[in-house]
Amino acid sequence: MKGEVISDLKSCKLCIGNDTGFSHLATAYSKKNFVILGDCPPHTYSNLIIPIDKEDNLPRTSNSIKSISFEKVISIFNKYEN
């Protein structure tokens, strides 16, 4: 199974997901990735990472990620992909 994930990451154009190992692996394989955040402030160590964060007016909590709508993710994706 582990080999399947690595193979998929190597062959994909980009990654959209939350701040987990998959996003970090995608960056290691030089893939652009849109990282959905919530309880962690946006951070980046690569220009391949595009953070998608909670709304500014909301407090940062362990549930902040739930406030990020699909529409917001698509909007940010479209902004960078067009």
Structure pTM?
A: 0.81
Give Cβ neighbours of residue 36 (< 8 Å, ≥ 6 apart). Answer: 16, 17, 18, 19, 52, 65, 68, 73
- pLDDT bracket for residue 18 (50, 70, 90): confident
pLDDT for res 82? 65
- Other Cβ atoms within 10 Å of 71 Cβ, number: 8
Element (H, E) at 2: helix 2-11
- As a whole number, mean pLDDT of residues 9-30 equals 89
- Report the b/e string of 14-47 with b at 16+ CB within 10 A: ebbeebeebbebbbeeebbbbbbbbeeeeeeeee
pLDDT for res 3? 66
Which residues constitute the domain of residue 27?
A: 2-81
The tally of domains found in the chain comes to 1
